[in-house]
Structure formats: C-alpha cells, structure tokens
A = this chain, B = another copy of it.
C-alpha cells in the first residue's frame, strides 16, 4: 500500500455516478486509475478475457446493482445470468460455468431474496449453464441497497470464432440483431413510475445461441459486442477506437421501437446511448454479410436483425459517423456517462 499518486487526478476528486455508466467517464477512470494499478491490458478492453495458458477459455465478470430489482422482462437475477453469458458470447464462447456472489442488506425480506435466486437459477438452467460456486455476504441496514449480484463466467470458445473489438476492418458490414433501447427505458420507467413499462419490457436474454448461429461463418465474423451500458453509441465507439476504424451508421436502419422513442423523447434521452441486454452488434466481412443476416434471423432473438452500416475504406479512423434521416452526417460520440445510473 502506498500513498503515491502518479495519475493526474486531484486528490479532492470523488467517484461520480457517471464513472459507472460505461461512457467516457468510465473509460477515464479505468485508463488513469484502475488499469495502471492492476497492470491491466494495454490492448483493447474486451467483453471477456482469455484465460492464460488456456486459449480456448475466456472469463468475464460483472456486478449487477440494477434498481428496481424487478422490472418488466426480468429482474436482477436473470439479468446477472444473461449479462455474463453475453459477455462470454461476444468472444465467441459458450458458457460452461457461472459463479454467483450476493451482497445482501440486513432486513431484506427472504421472500424477495428467494424470488431473485429462483429467477437466477431458472435463467441459468434455461441457458444450460451450471452455477458451480457462490458466496453470500450481509451488510448492515443502509450499507447496501437490498441486493447486489456478481456473476463471473467461464466460457469455451467455439471452433473458428475468434471475434475481438480490435478486428473490425474496412469494408465490414455492421449488423444489429434487434431493436435498441428496451432495457434502459424499461428500467428507468419502472424506477421512476413513468408508466411506459406497460408498453415495453427489457430485452434481457442470453445471446450465446445467436452467436452459435454465426459460428459457421468462422473468421468472417470480426467483432461482436452487446451494447449494454452506454448503448449502441458506446459499443460502436469502443470498436471504432480499438480497430482504428471509420464506422458509418445509417440512422434510419436502426430499429427503435415506438414506445422507446416516445419514452426517450419525454425523458430527453438518446436511444443510441440507452442500455440493451438482448441484442448484439456484429462486424462481418462484406462477402459474408448476407449469410450472417440469414443466420441471425434464423433464431427468434435475431428475427429483426438488420444491416445498419459499414466500416468505410477511408474516413476518420476511430470515429463513428451517423448518416441522419435527412442525409446529413454527424459524429456519434462516446457518451459522457452521466445519463442512467443503476441500469444493470
């Protein structure tokens, strides 16, 4: 333990809600404070890491602090399973084991805890992945908000699938497996009692079968990413940056459900930066784009898959450009990150 402070932070700075929102503030916290201390990877941050000495295995961890615990389409238990399965899937892996660690607030009704763990167990069973180990801690009243869940997963990579955020290439087609904005607007609407949650539900679901459907395309699948915190804008920006790619998205092709658009309008949110928990972005070689779309659409969870853009042969590397409805071009920036706390 040392008091040395090499990073350029003022000592009176504090953690902000936006540091956890998956945007620029999160990236800054990681780059300047966390990763240097942990000897973190200098390469791109992937959804899941390779296990040293076992190149066919990947590991991913996520803590879930979503509020409220229950929302249309899911709850913190099912979300914790889907979220980690999906991070593994984005590296081309099928999940082989999950760990579950609970932090509970004293006074939490056991009936509520039971609903959460039953939902978690059901989600794991439905996805075919065993929960192999766990941990339970309890803190006093007021020292946590009800339940926090950590899931960590180990996945086995599918033969031939080696997607990485750094592998997008000029000419790639950008595919999206389904509509955006459902999870974030549902959680927010439920939390704030806005009433939209009668029309919409979270898209929380496991995506490993969808990735399996892409497996026959093998090395044509360059990059997979599930646009969770920070939404589609953050996912595309992370890929553009990691691959030094000029990504261009056709705005009118991006499916935004009506209820999501209405909720976002009311709340002053941009659907492009709202979290999703059940769709993925795929960057695939142009020659395989049609085959990839067909593969995605072969699964119910990819039934609405569409092509939303491409990696330009030339253009501003590391940037995402949106061709708007009226034909103009604007930069789709990495969100700053203050928008939606405790969305997952």
Contact = CB atoms under 8 A, between A and B. Distances in A.
Nearest to A122: B1
Total copies of the chain: 2
Contacts of A192: none
Instruction: Please tell me the size bucket of the interface on A.
Output: 35 or more
A38 B133 contact: no
A160 interface: no
| Among A13, A125, A148, residue most surrounded by chain B Cβ atoms (within 10 Å) | A148
A268 interface: no
Interface in A1-60: 1-3, 5, 7, 9, 11-21, 26, 29-30, 33-34, 37-41, 46, 48-54, 57, 59-60
Interface in A270-294: none
A15 B57 CA distance: 36
A165 to B, nearest CB: 13
A156 interface: yes
Interface of chain A, main secondary structure? mixed
A46 B152 CA distance: 17
B139 A33 contact: no
Contact of A37 (B118, B143, B145): B118
B136 A97 contact: no
B138 A20 contact: yes
Nearest to A133: B49
A59 B111 contact: no
Contact of A101 (B2, B53, B63): B63
Contacts of A48: 133
A62 interface: yes
B341 A139 contact: yes
Contacts of A133: 46, 48-49, 59-61
18 contacts: A1-B119, A11-B109, A11-B110, A11-B111, A13-B109, A14-B108, A33-B117, A34-B117, A37-B118, A53-B156, A59-B97, A59-B99, A59-B133, A59-B154, A60-B133, A61-B152, A62-B101, A148-B148
